Structure 1
Amino acid sequence: MRYHFAGFVFDADNLSLTGPQGEHTLRPMSARVLQSLLDGAPNLMRHDELIDQVWGNQAVTPGVLTHSIREIRNALGDVPQQPRFIETRHRLGYRFIAPVRMETRSRQTGPLPESVTASNATPEAQPESSEPHEAPPTNLPATPTTPSPRRWWWAVLPLLLLAGALLWIRSQPFAPETTGTGPAIADVGQPHEPEARHWYQQGLAALHAGDPGQAREWLERSRAREPEAVATLSALARAAAQSGAITRARAWMAAAEHAASTLPRVEQLRIAAYSAALDYRWDDAVTHLTAVSQLDPGDAETALHLFDAQLAQGRLREAAATLETVAAQPLPVLDEWRVAMAQARLAEARGDHPARLEAAVAAQALARTHAQRLQSRLQQAGAQLLLGHPDETRLLLADMPEAGDGQAPDIHALRAEKLRAILLREEGDYAAAQTRLEHAATAAKALGQDEMAARAQRQAAFVQIQAGQAEQAVARLQSLIEALEAQGNIRELANARDVLALALQHSGDMPAALLASEAALAAYVQAGDRLGEASARNQLGMLYGRTGRDDESREQFELALRLFESAGERRGAALAQSNLAIVDGRAGRREAARERNQAALAAFRELASWPDVARLQFNLAVQDRGSGRLPEARARFAEALEAFERIGSTDHTRQARASLAELLLAQARLGEAAQSLESDPDPHAGSPQPRAALLTAHGRLAALRGDIESAQSAFRSARELREAAGLPDWVRMSELDLAELAARAGQLARAEQAARQLRRDMTEAGDAHAAIQAGLLLAAVLERQREGAAASRLLEQLEAELIAHPDAMASLRLDLLRVMLRERGRTELATQVAAAARAIGYELLALRADLLAGGDAGRQALEVLERQGIGTEGVPPLLLY
């Protein structure tokens, strides 16, 4: 089949394209995209249709289609803004709009009737859409985490998967916000009439002060006097965008573009660049701004706008190169304060908080106005917070006004208020954090800063999630999402959906959480935000991991890693590495997991990202414990605990304290474990899961001491917290603790029934390690019920599962159960198990094995256990820690 159009011939059999200038080489996939467009002409071909037709069952991202369309356009000499061949339909797909004549080998067909040619079939061609930006090559499907200042989440939400309580490390929507240089306003085309010009200048002053509501009032008055003043129209667009009303901003920019037809070419390019940015067409914005810079190489202002566009797109290396060009400009053209602030924002996007702090300090020294000094200090405060220095953060915020304190609202006060809320949240004072955020939202609304108000509402919802109020957070976010959809604010919509996914997960609705996460990812792609896409894939990977879909989880983390690496964002890459380590660990690839974690740890240390170092040390401690490296695990837990205490992160401190206490219990060091648990200042404050972890550790300490009633009370309280927080996998772990207590109390039938059901549920949920623990309890109960054959068969099955999912303690407990089932040679085997357990530090298991060995070893073990206050009644192997 051959296709003829406008002097070109496309041979579908050979996938070749020939034009007036000769043959054009296309990659095979791009040639097939062209064939699909030609076959479908003049109809619209949607993105998913083209991907299905060309790539079939291969899992690819929309970026590969975007790349192919660009390649075809280059070959045809087509321009997206004035297409002759391929028309982009905004957010829908593409159409081939030139008349096409098809020719087969057997006969030649005539031209298509005019009534069906693409050039007559549609209204005026639309401008290039905000296509997903080309991503690195990937095998991931295109599934449906803001500019960098809003993306990096300081505290990880403890999405805890294993009994070892591994922490998925994620970025969070709760960091300080900073602004760039803002959209360009035309240098010419300003109003001429004196009063209109005065109102216009008043509007600009309000914009620079961060008051878009007041700015709109002045600018509307100016426009009423001179309706066609281009500068006024573009300033109105900027005011609308600053408040988050993107749809309204686009309408103002369309009017400005229409009125700018008589302006010089350079001014038209500036306006076109801002219009493209409002449509999230970052490539077009960069192209236009680059053209302006070439026409006027000394225009530092335009270069800073170019930097903003590259930063918003997540192209950090290109942004750095642009900033170097700006910094080379001579004085007085160069605004050194703005360059220093841009350097701080670039460092923030890279996750390099020491560099961010250094640039912000330099900016403060260069500040000439009070507003510039406040912005510089806010950048310093944000950097100190992310470096894990809460006291330094408070000091920087100390003399800044507070939202709701009776003063007129101020944009800097709002940003300071949200930083204060972070500090309160990390201290576990969720009510105070939420109050501050709601004050900030109200004050932002009064300023006309609807986008800032939306961020405060979103962050208040995140606080509600941590406080165990997931359903209230869902309601808040759903209302917020409706408002953002009306505003056309795709980036904030992506952020809100990302947090909604967390809220739905914690309310127990995992299918809805996955849908929300996929929708957030689609919105980031639509906005052309590569770093947002990477963060969203990190989030989606965690959700897949939570539901046992480890292969899909790995794919998402790997793509996030590629995106972060391609952008030069080292902290994000380290986050993805640490999450891939969790997936490797779950799959039994312990050495691969350790290598990934060590690489991530080195990156975090180099970036001085101490909160991340603490979280990763916690994860490494869990892995060391599972591998039987108890001394290393204890040292890592202690380091993580100390770091979390220093940072002031209440929830993570509690989680680390609980994990360290349980390790001490496994080492038969009950006194030290009790001391660690009792040092918690307020066990009733904080998030549900860390509180439940602490209660569980208290319960296990009580069970070891033979206080079954106290243990049962603690386990039930932990279960209630987990149920209320919508954590079904952790509810099952609490049920397993209660089943063990039932066995210790001699309620074997009840314990058997519970263990069987929990093993089935845990297996269905994809939680292999938990299912093994339930199996070990069931085997022990069967042995006590004198069903040795059934217990032996179950142990064979569990041994195979442990090969796929190794765990040192579980293996020792299985060996201990084999000792109990042996009639001959029990003493020798029990002695071997005791030696193996003692060699790696599991002293409590070693003492249990000594009891089974009997003789002098048994008597000595009994004395040690009694001296430690450890009860010896019940089934010896029933130890879930």
Structure 2
Amino acid sequence: MRLHSHEIEFDVDTATLHGPNGSQPLRRQVAETLLVLMQRAPALVSVDTLLDTVWGRHAISPSAVPQTIRELRRALGDHAQDSIYIETRHKLGYRWIPPVQRLDGPDAAAAAEGAPGLAAEREMSPPTQALVALPPAARQQRRWPLWASAMLGAALLATALLFGWYSRGLWPLQRADTDRTGVMASADRTHWQAAMHAWQAQDLDSVRQALSALPQDELARSLLGLRLQAVTDSDASLPANIDAVRARLPEADQAGRLWAQAVLAHVAGQDTVAWSHLEPLLALRPDDVDLRLLAWDLRRRLPKDRIRQLSEYLSAAPGLPPARRELLAIQAAGEQKEPERRQQLAEAWLRVHAKTHPVLALTVLLEQAEALEALRQPSDARALALAVSATAEQLGAARLAARAMRTAVWNAMVQSQNDLAEADLARMQQLLQDRYDPSGAVSMRHFRAMLFNRRGDHDQAIDAFTQLAQDYEAMGELGSAASALNATVSPRYLLGRGDEVPATINTALDLATRANAIDTIGFLRGSLGNHYVRTGDLQQGQMYIGMALESFRQNGDRHAEAAALGNLGQVAQMRGRLQEAQRFNEQAAVLETALGNAHGLAYTNKRLMDIAIAQGDLTAASALGQSALQGFGDHGDHKEAALTARLLAELHLRQGQLDAALRLQETLAATADKSPLVRAEQHMLRGDLARYRGEFKQAAAEYTEAAAIWSGAEERSDALLARLCALRATLPIAPAVAIEEELRLLMTAPERSQNAAIDLNARLLLAEVLIWAARRDEATAALAELETALSQTVDAETSLRLALLRADLDTEPDSRQQRREWVAAQAQSKGMLLLALEAEGRMAEQTGAADWSAFVQRARAMGATGLIRRQRP
């Protein structure tokens, strides 16, 4: 179905907007919102209607609608102030302005009979749920994995893992003075050409028949036989057969030997070794399309710039069949981390080619499953992967069936469904039993190690990952060995063995450097930088993260570059350099927006929210926090959504919005992520709420529990901040001397001096304790030191609290009241209503019972009874 309005045309079937700005694929919520507005034009559509129709139960807050409308306006080239397409009715909803015409097309009749539209996708079967809506005929094509009978002659299902799909001749025997079929006799050449034709047609019976007519000792016959065996049975005889063929490679034929060695290494699961043979061969034959296809199949072992060059070359290479060329485009979208485009291209491919190329269709469906995974739809991704695996198994393609099970296992783990992951892993083990599939076997052991970690058996996880690294190293896969060693970092922290981390990462760096794995080197440098940050050495951490950034830029990995910029911004903020932090994060936001990475942008918005809070712009901070929360929610990132919810709740309490904070507490309590760090955030929020209500003992207990969790995970800065919060909560109920003693001990921690926010928090608390203890001279000195620390950074609330404490020390009543009035007015203007009310309470202490009674009434109306208990009238 296609809808036309003014200068744009909306293709509902592919969720693509066509107009003066070209063709733009829309993400699901944007496409559904556009469809609802156009179908109901010119009627007004309320926000509640859009929430119910587009998001159903999944919307985190009503702010999802205006954010989606803004994204839709950008796609349309529309403007809210002078709108051509979408009219905004404040607090009422939205209306599509120009007339809408439904265009006829090949699927119009079917659509007119009641095609359910984009929003109905939530009701589709799991393998197709949340995909772009298709007309009925195309939906039938999407059920094709169940037609095993239509694919009995298509058992060559792992073609994306093999070389030379369209090879025209015999590489190992090629000579400079012969054609590509080398020195074969005429009759043998005929059989060979028949075998290659059948191979390209994926007719395995014909391949076997043609090969049987060739001499048994023919090297080309043996190589093709190995490739056939790797795809179908992959039984225990395969390693011996590989060794036998390798022993017969002709020494004199450099090109043929390189080609055969690449094929043999790939079949043996040694892709890095395969690339080491293929790279010099590409230098000898730079324009050979077959070799480029072979290199493309090894792309996960290649630098990003080489992958990009291959993609550009193959997209314009002559002679590639349309189905193969379009599959390359799908895979390229995956490499570029464009899951929505990858999904849409896969849908289009299946509509056109599924029946004529059923073998490739399984590979396309796996691409689609991985796109769903990237779109944070793990349940659908797993269901689709299971369907592909079952069909592949029916056709005797155990290797592809096992590969599909890897995707299923991973997506079960993403959902924290460890029991499902165990069941899928057992199924994968069954598929690999008595078969030769080195990469599949290693993947299975990798998943086992991850499950050890998830089930809390961290010692066993470390042992399993370490053994895995040794096995990878023995295979020549040094980059994978380095990644396996890096996987031991998290369990080491959880076991309190963080002191082992630098040596572990440096060993991994040595492996990655030997492999020239630039992307892995970058991630390892970042990991080492994060270690130094969490242990309080911010300068060293910033240096290594900066080195990681250079690695990512060198490798052309813009997604990793954006993440590194964000990490540098976070470190700069911890060091109190807010302008530098804002610059890094703004650079990251530009990159994430250009890449269309909404999930990465959510991280950036979360960091920018922290900066806005420090700058005292709570309105901007709230908007950034809501955007981050929505971004994490849209991508199913329960952990980060939970962490953001806690920060937003804390912000709402500063603004005196108890109800909003309580709603976010419900969101945090209901999160699907039950990890220790999320539990720590839950304790912190319960502590914030208890302190707000004056339940100081309970608040201190919650903060202390959070500190214990963070200490166990070696999150030292977070643990220290939680302990400071616990001390602050006890200030109204505990002796000042006891609080001061513990506080001064905490202030000796290196994390305090390295982290500007923690340092300011500790200095502020010390000054308060000294004032409560009536030690005026020491309090005055402490405030002077706090003022010096504030001169190195920006923290609007701490600056106002400093002024409020100076008022407490002012011995002149009129001057003291003027200082407090100024703080109350400044806090009110910045939206810090809780601080403003606290300043008013201090004034009411002096001005009499009537003012105190009015203050108590206002505090109770805000639910901030903690302020009443803190004051000393």
TM-score, structure 1 length as denominator? Answer: 0.67
Asked if 2 retains the 8 angstrom alpha-carbon contact of 1:586 and 1:805, the reply is no
Report SS of the residue matched to 1:812.
helix
Is 1:847 equivalent to 2:820 in the alignment? no
- 1: CA distance, partners of 2:551 / 2:232: 28
Q: 2:302 aligns with which of 299, 313, 338?
A: 313
Asked if 1 retains the 8 angstrom alpha-carbon contact of 2:172 and 2:259, the reply is no
Is 1:375 equivalent to 2:363 in the alignment? yes
Is 1:384 equivalent to 2:372 in the alignment? yes
- 2: CA distance, partners of 1:683 / 1:709: 26
Report SS of the residue matched to 1:760.
coil
Asked if 2 retains the 8 angstrom alpha-carbon contact of 1:289 and 1:303, the reply is no
Hey, what does 2:734 align to over in structure 1?
746
Asked if 2 retains the 8 angstrom alpha-carbon contact of 1:466 and 1:688, the reply is no
Letter in 2 for 1:727: E
Q: 1:266 aligns with which of 249, 255, 258?
A: 255
Asked if 2 retains the 8 angstrom alpha-carbon contact of 1:272 and 1:288, the reply is no
Asked if 2 retains the 8 angstrom alpha-carbon contact of 1:350 and 1:571, the reply is no
> 1:197-232: per-residue Cα shift (whole Å, max 9, x none)?
x9xx99xx99x99xxxxxxxx9xxx9xx97894774
Report SS of the residue matched to 1:864.
helix
Asked if 1 retains the 8 angstrom alpha-carbon contact of 2:525 and 2:548, the reply is yes
Deviation at 1:593, TM superposition (A): 2.5
Letter in 2 for 1:636: L
Letter in 2 for 1:872: L
Q: 1:356 to 1:523 in 2, by over 3 A?
A: farther
Hey, what does 2:15 align to over in structure 1?
none
Deviation at 1:663, TM superposition (A): 0.8
For residues 322-337 of structure 1, the aligned pairs below 5 Å read: 322-331=310-319, 334-337=320-323
Asked if 1 retains the 8 angstrom alpha-carbon contact of 2:535 and 2:751, the reply is no
Is 1:346 equivalent to 2:341 in the alignment? no
Asked if 2 retains the 8 angstrom alpha-carbon contact of 1:698 and 1:714, the reply is yes
Q: 2:867 aligns with which of 850, 866, 872?
A: 872
- 2: CA distance, partners of 1:455 / 1:765: 43
> 1:60-88: per-residue Cα shift (whole Å, max 9, x none)?
xxxxxxxxxxxxxxxxxxxxxxxxxxxxx
> 1:777-800: per-residue Cα shift (whole Å, max 9, x none)?
222112211222222222222222
Hey, what does 1:517 align to over in structure 2?
505
Hey, what does 2:556 align to over in structure 1?
568
Asked if 2 retains the 8 angstrom alpha-carbon contact of 1:722 and 1:728, the reply is yes
The percent identity for this pair of structures is 23
Hey, what does 1:676 align to over in structure 2?
664
For residues 467-482 of structure 1, the aligned pairs below 5 Å read: 470-482=458-470
Hey, what does 2:778 align to over in structure 1?
790
Q: 1:718 to 1:557 in 2, by over 3 A?
A: closer
The root-mean-square deviation of aligned C-alpha atoms, in Å, is: 4.6
For residues 812-851 of structure 1, the aligned pairs below 5 Å read: 812-824=800-812, 825-851=815-841
Is 1:290 equivalent to 2:303 in the alignment? no
Deviation at 1:396, TM superposition (A): 4.0
Q: 1:183 to 1:402 in 2, by over 3 A?
A: closer
Deviation at 1:625, TM superposition (A): 1.4
Deviation at 1:830, TM superposition (A): 1.3
Is 1:642 equivalent to 2:636 in the alignment? no
- 2: CA distance, partners of 1:523 / 1:269: 25
Is 1:651 equivalent to 2:664 in the alignment? no
Is 1:702 equivalent to 2:690 in the alignment? yes
Hey, what does 2:443 align to over in structure 1?
455
- 2: CA distance, partners of 1:238 / 1:772: 67
Letter in 2 for 1:267: G
- 2: CA distance, partners of 1:599 / 1:408: 50
Hey, what does 1:301 align to over in structure 2?
290
Q: 1:490 to 1:833 in 2, by over 3 A?
A: same
Deviation at 1:495, TM superposition (A): 1.6
- 2: CA distance, partners of 1:234 / 1:547: 55
Q: 1:397 to 1:240 in 2, by over 3 A?
A: closer
Letter in 1 for 2:737: A
How many aligned positions are there?
Answer: 677
TM-score, structure 2 length as denominator? Answer: 0.67
> 1:596-634: per-residue Cα shift (whole Å, max 9, x none)?
323322332333322222222222212211221211111
Hey, what does 2:748 align to over in structure 1?
760
Letter in 2 for 1:736: L
> 1:316-365: per-residue Cα shift (whole Å, max 9, x none)?
2x44343443344444xx24444433333333333333443344445544
Hey, what does 2:142 align to over in structure 1?
none
Structure 1 gaps, min length 5: 1-177, 210-217
Q: 1:636 to 1:424 in 2, by over 3 A?
A: farther
Letter in 1 for 2:330: A
- 1: CA distance, partners of 2:240 / 2:540: 38
Deviation at 1:397, TM superposition (A): 4.4
Deviation at 1:515, TM superposition (A): 2.1
Deviation at 1:862, TM superposition (A): 2.9
Asked if 1 retains the 8 angstrom alpha-carbon contact of 2:263 and 2:274, the reply is no
Deviation at 1:840, TM superposition (A): 1.6
Report SS of the residue matched to 1:548.
coil
- 1: CA distance, partners of 2:704 / 2:662: 20
Q: 1:232 to 1:386 in 2, by over 3 A?
A: same
Q: 1:685 to 1:188 in 2, by over 3 A?
A: closer
Hey, what does 1:551 align to over in structure 2?
539
Q: 1:601 to 1:674 in 2, by over 3 A?
A: same
Report SS of the residue matched to 1:261.
coil
Asked if 2 retains the 8 angstrom alpha-carbon contact of 1:564 and 1:572, the reply is yes
Is 1:591 equivalent to 2:585 in the alignment? no
Q: 1:287 to 1:706 in 2, by over 3 A?
A: closer
Letter in 2 for 1:550: L
- 1: CA distance, partners of 2:391 / 2:832: 54
Asked if 2 retains the 8 angstrom alpha-carbon contact of 1:273 and 1:289, the reply is no
Q: 1:640 to 1:814 in 2, by over 3 A?
A: same
Q: 1:383 to 1:406 in 2, by over 3 A?
A: closer
Deviation at 1:768, TM superposition (A): 3.4
Report SS of the residue matched to 1:351.
coil
- 2: CA distance, partners of 1:760 / 1:234: 69
Asked if 2 retains the 8 angstrom alpha-carbon contact of 1:626 and 1:809, the reply is yes
Letter in 2 for 1:838: Q
Deviation at 1:284, TM superposition (A): 6.0
- 2: CA distance, partners of 1:412 / 1:390: 20
Hey, what does 1:31 align to over in structure 2?
none
Report SS of the residue matched to 2:734.
coil
Deviation at 1:697, TM superposition (A): 0.5
Report SS of the residue matched to 1:259.
coil
Asked if 2 retains the 8 angstrom alpha-carbon contact of 1:394 and 1:420, the reply is yes
- 2: CA distance, partners of 1:697 / 1:733: 13
Letter in 1 for 2:495: S
Letter in 2 for 1:829: R
Is 1:600 equivalent to 2:592 in the alignment? no
Deviates more, 1:399-408 or 1:550-559: 399-408
Is 1:863 equivalent to 2:854 in the alignment? no
Report SS of the residue matched to 1:871.
helix
Q: 1:556 to 1:680 in 2, by over 3 A?
A: closer
Deviation at 1:267, TM superposition (A): 1.3
- 1: CA distance, partners of 2:839 / 2:232: 69
Q: 1:604 to 1:420 in 2, by over 3 A?
A: farther
- 1: CA distance, partners of 2:792 / 2:419: 44
Deviation at 1:414, TM superposition (A): 4.1
Q: 1:838 to 1:369 in 2, by over 3 A?
A: same
Q: 1:487 to 1:307 in 2, by over 3 A?
A: closer
Q: 1:337 to 1:535 in 2, by over 3 A?
A: farther
- 1: CA distance, partners of 2:750 / 2:232: 49
Q: 1:180 to 1:829 in 2, by over 3 A?
A: farther
Q: 1:359 to 1:290 in 2, by over 3 A?
A: farther
- 2: CA distance, partners of 1:648 / 1:718: 24
Deviates more, 1:491-500 or 1:435-444: 435-444
